[in-house]
Amino acid sequence: MEYGFQPTNYPLEDKRCKGGITFTRLHTPKGTRDYLPNEVKQYRYIENQLRKTFELWNYSEVRSPTIEFVETLSTGVGSELVDTMFKFQDFDGKLLALRAEMTAPVARIVTARMPSAPEPIRLFYVNNVFRYSQSYLKREREFCQAGVELVGCNTPEADGEILALLISSLKQVGLKEVRIDLGHASLLRDLLNAAGLDKQQKVSVQGLLACRDAAGLKKFMEQNSFPSNLRDAFLQLSRCRRLDEVSSISLSGSKYDKLNKQLESLLELQETLADYEIDDLVFFDFSLTKKIEYYTGMVFEASVPNLGLPLGGGGRYDNFIEKFGKLRLPATGFALEIGKLLQALTAQGFEIPDSPKIKVVVASKFRDTAVEAVKLLREAGVIASLEITKRSWEKTMEYGKLTETDYVVSVGSSLKSPVTVCDVKSNVSRDVTLQTFLGEVGGRC
C-alpha cells in the first residue's frame, strides 16, 4: 500500500441523509476510478513512450475539447456509439456530449482548422474519452486513448505505415508477441450485399464466419441459394489466415470489379508489410468488423496472448471527413487504450522502468536559509521539499522513511556553514558544506 493510501476499491463510505436523499461522498461514480501516484507514473510512462514513437514517425499532437456538440460527435459513427455518449443540454438548448472517441474530433479539426495543411497530414492524440455502459467489466466509463490519424492518402503505403507504426508503438512500450488481426470492412459488406441477404441473414453469416464454422457456413449458403462463385469466395476467404493467401481468390464478371479491387488492395498491403518486415505479425480475419460505421477499407485489432481483449484497433475511413464539410480526404488510423496496455504489460511481467531522482527534505529553524537551500537543490535537479510542519527531527526522519526520501538536510542560519546531511535509509549523519552535497547529488540526477 502506497504511503498509507487506500486501494481504489477500498469500501469507504460517508453517507449523509438530507430530506430522505442519501449522499455518498467518498466513492467515485460507477465505471470511474482514482489513480494514485505510482499508477499515474505507470500511465505516464506508457503515454510518453507512445508520444516519443509517434513524434519519431513525424506525427504532431492535437487536443480537442472534452465537450463537443452531439451533432459533431455523432456524425457518421453509427447509432451504437451514439447511444453510449453522455449527453446533456447547454444553456442555449443545444445538445452537448462528452467525446466517446477521437476520430470525429480530429476530422472536425482537420476540416475547420487545417483545410490548407499540406497532405498527408499526420496527427496524434492522447486523451480521455467517455462511454456510458450498463456493464463496466470490459471497459470503464472514462478511459484514456492514444492514437494516430493519417489524413489525405489512400495508398497501400499509407495503410502499411499505420500498421507498422502500431506494431512499433506496442513494442516500444515493452510488449512482446504482438499480433494484428486484419479484415476489410467494404469487402465483407459488399459480398454480403452481392449475395442479396436481408439484415438477419447477414448477421447469421457474420456469426458463422466469426466462429469459423465452415460446415455451418456451407449449409447456410446451400439453404439460401448462394451463387456458386460467391459461395466459393466466402468459403475460401473464411479459410485464409494470411494476406498472401487471398491471391488465389477472384470473381469473374464486371459486376464484381469492385470486389476484385478490394482483394487486390489486400495483396498490395501484404507487399508493403513485407517491406516493413512485419507481415508475419499480421493475420487475415475475413469476419472482422468494427461497430463504428465509418470504416471503408482495412480494419484491424491489436492483441497479445492471454489478455482476452484487444489492446486497440482502427482502420481506413475514406468517406468520413467529407461529412464535416467540403474536404474529401481519405484517412486511416488507430487508437490504443492505455489501461489495457498496462494490463498487458503486467500480465507479461514487465516492470515499468523507474528513473529515480534524489529526494531531499530540508529542515531548519531559519526559514530564509532553508528556502534558499531548497532552491539551490532544485536548480541542481534534485527533488527537494521544505519541512513546513515544524515537527521534531525524529518525526522528520520518520516522514522521510515513509515517503522514500533519500536525505534529510538540516541547515543553520547561514549556508556558508556546514549542513547536517542524514541518509534516511542508513540513519547515518555527516556534516558537509551545501556546495559539497550539491556536487554529490547533482551528478546523480
For residue 276, what is the domain's CATH number?
Answer: 3.30.930.10
Same domain, 66 and 127: yes
- Measured CA to CA, the distance from residue 147 to residue 314 in angstroms comes to 9
Closest-CA residue to 228 (of 274, 186, 194)? 194
Indicate whether 418 belongs to any domain: yes
Residue at a domain's end among 317, 347, 377: 347
What is the DSSP annotation of 9-20?
T-----EEEETT
Residue at a domain's end among 289, 322, 347: 347
Same domain, 320 and 435: no
Grid cell of 44 as nine digits: 505516464
Indicate whether 5 belongs to any domain: no
Same domain, 177 and 320: yes
Residue at a domain's end among 347, 374, 408: 347
Indicate whether 368 belongs to any domain: yes
Q: What is the pTM for the complete model shown?
A: 0.86
What is the DSSP annotation of 374-423?
HHHHHHTT-EEEE--S---HHHHHHHHHHTT-SEEEE--S-TTS-EEEEE
- Measured CA to CA, the distance from residue 72 to residue 97 in angstroms comes to 9
- Give me the CATH number covering residue 406: 3.40.50.800
Same domain, 313 and 205: yes
Owning domain of residue 377: 359-442
Same domain, 147 and 285: yes
Closest-CA residue to 170 (of 344, 412, 377)? 344
Q: Please report, in tens digits, the pLDDT of each residue of the chain (445 residues total).
A: 344 444 444 344 445 555 555 556 778 888 888 989 889 999 999 999 999 999 999 999 999 999 999 999 998 888 888 999 999 999 999 999 999 999 999 999 999 999 999 999 999 999 999 998 766 555 688 999 999 999 999 999 999 999 999 999 999 999 999 999 999 999 988 888 888 888 888 888 888 888 888 888 888 888 877 777 888 888 888 889 999 999 888 888 788 898 999 999 999 999 999 999 999 999 999 888 877 788 999 999 999 998 888 999 999 999 999 999 889 999 999 999 999 999 999 999 998 887 778 999 999 999 999 999 999 999 999 999 999 999 999 999 999 999 999 999 999 999 999 999 999 999 999 999 999 999 998 766 5
Same domain, 212 and 330: yes
Phi then psi for residue 402, to 5 deg, are: -65, -30
Same domain, 277 and 205: yes
Same domain, 239 and 381: no
Number of domains, the chain? 2
